[in-house]
Amino acid sequence: MTDEPVELDSRRGIAAQKATDLRRALADVEANARDLRDRQGKIEEQLLATRATTWPEAAANARYVLNLYAGSLSPQDTRHRDLIAMVLDDFTRLAASDD
């Protein structure tokens, strides 16, 4: 008897290996999505708990909210995407002119 574990993946057919790989990849994606939602929730709790005290802080908060909104837009909604891009560019330009 051997103490080495048996590598079951090498004993399966190609279709079974692909199905196993797909299940593993999907589990990783779901775990990453959960982690992202958790981190977003923590960031949003922090944003709600503290008020901006400067214009750059307010712009950073607005940038976060605009990016959330942009993520919910359909790809065909180019007008709103252009407006968001313009406002984000304004934030960057105005912040650079303050320095």
3-class state of residue 27 by DSSP: helix
Task: Flag whether the pTM goes above 0.85.
Answer: no
Taking the C-alpha atoms of residue 11 and residue 69, their distance in angstroms, rounded to an integer, is 48
What is the pLDDT, as a whole number, of residue 10? 66
Q: pLDDT for 5-15, tens place per residue?
A: 767 666 678 88
Q: pLDDT for 70-95, tens place per residue?
A: 999 999 999 999 999 999 999 999 98
3-class state of residue 50 by DSSP: coil
Q: pLDDT for 15-45, tens place per residue?
A: 888 998 999 999 999 999 999 999 999 999 9
Q: Would you kindly state where each structural domain of the chain is located, as residue ranges?
A: 7-50, 52-99
